[in-house]
A and B are shown apart, each in its own frame.
Chain A
Amino acid sequence: MKTIIFKSASVYLLPLLLLFSVFILLRGHYLPGGGFVGGLMASIAFVIHSFANGVENTKNIVKFHPGFLMPVGLALALLAGSLPLFTGETFMTGLWMDQPVPVIGTVGTALFFDTGVYLVVIGVTLTIIFTISEGL
């Protein structure tokens, strides 16, 4: 799509949507949101950018193959799940820091698990969309 308005808007939308997706990710522990929704939003940010500027340009922004995010995210989620095993507790038990971190709040293994989901969703969605648009 070659409209100037859309093209220039997409430049500003990309970082805004990415920021918003991180907000949704962090918000998700007690309120609606979380890794899955956040990941979808982050990939929508890239999809909008690719609509306006073409897939090639979006790929240049991402730099690496988005499929690589899948094992990274899975590894992060697996690590978050199995950390309690090392302290003798059961799989998937939430371990929490004593002191809250400013802005984010109390950090626990649940956050890492959700971040893992976030990365996997971005990886899967972008791989699918990039592969499909290559065939067009």
Chain B
Amino acid sequence: MSDFLTLGFLQRALMAGLLVSLLCGVLSVFVILRRMAFIGVGISHSAFGGVALGFLLGVDPLWTGILFSVAVALLIEWSLAHGRVEEDTAIGIFFAASMALGLVFLHLSRVYNVDVFGFLFGNLLAIGPRQVTEIFLVTLVVLAVVWIFFKELVFLSFDEEMAWVSGVPVRLLRCLFLVMMALVIIVAIYLVGIILVSALLVIPGAIAQNLSRRIRAMIGVSAGVAAGSMVGGLGASYSLDYPPGATIVLLLSVIYLATSLLQHRRRLTRKA
């Protein structure tokens, strides 16, 4: 009986991990090409406010988290359009504010058994069947959207202004992309938590950019590296008894450093 249970939670962790890494790997390419790494950090931290709001209102934190993250993303866009600050400033302000709001919400909700640590750092091994279904649905929706609007997303990443001039509905697609990022971040929070989720959206794409010269190859490499590190990281965390989320992110970072070194050496040999 205990063997079966052990198998069950490991299977779920592996299943959820593979889905999320596939998803993050694909989206990560656009995050890198659109230079949105810091927006990823901002949105993931702001999700904390949304999750806490869910506890305060007694509704599913998944939904409040998504709504809150999307709202913060749109607020960042709005303040850029109407204020005089740069994007990184706006992100810095809004993510701090939403984390602070999250703490206030938790305080007001007077729920003391909330696993805040779990939200901050994730707990891959505690994933239930319901979360696996949620992750599966989000994966389907997001990958379908990327597949349908692939050429537009590439054009947007290449040059937004030019895409607009050529008749592409840029504002719609920008919002769509932000919503997709919020969705992915929220489901990925179960795995690696708020603090580390942006790593999954940044590092695989960065590794892929080091290794590939074509966008389709880049997406393949990115998704492959993400999935590989997920499996490898889970295995390592199991045998070393390390926290799984952190192990996965560390593994990705080591791979990134290795590919950067490789790039550096290639450039040196080309010069020589």
Asked if A pairs with B, the answer is no
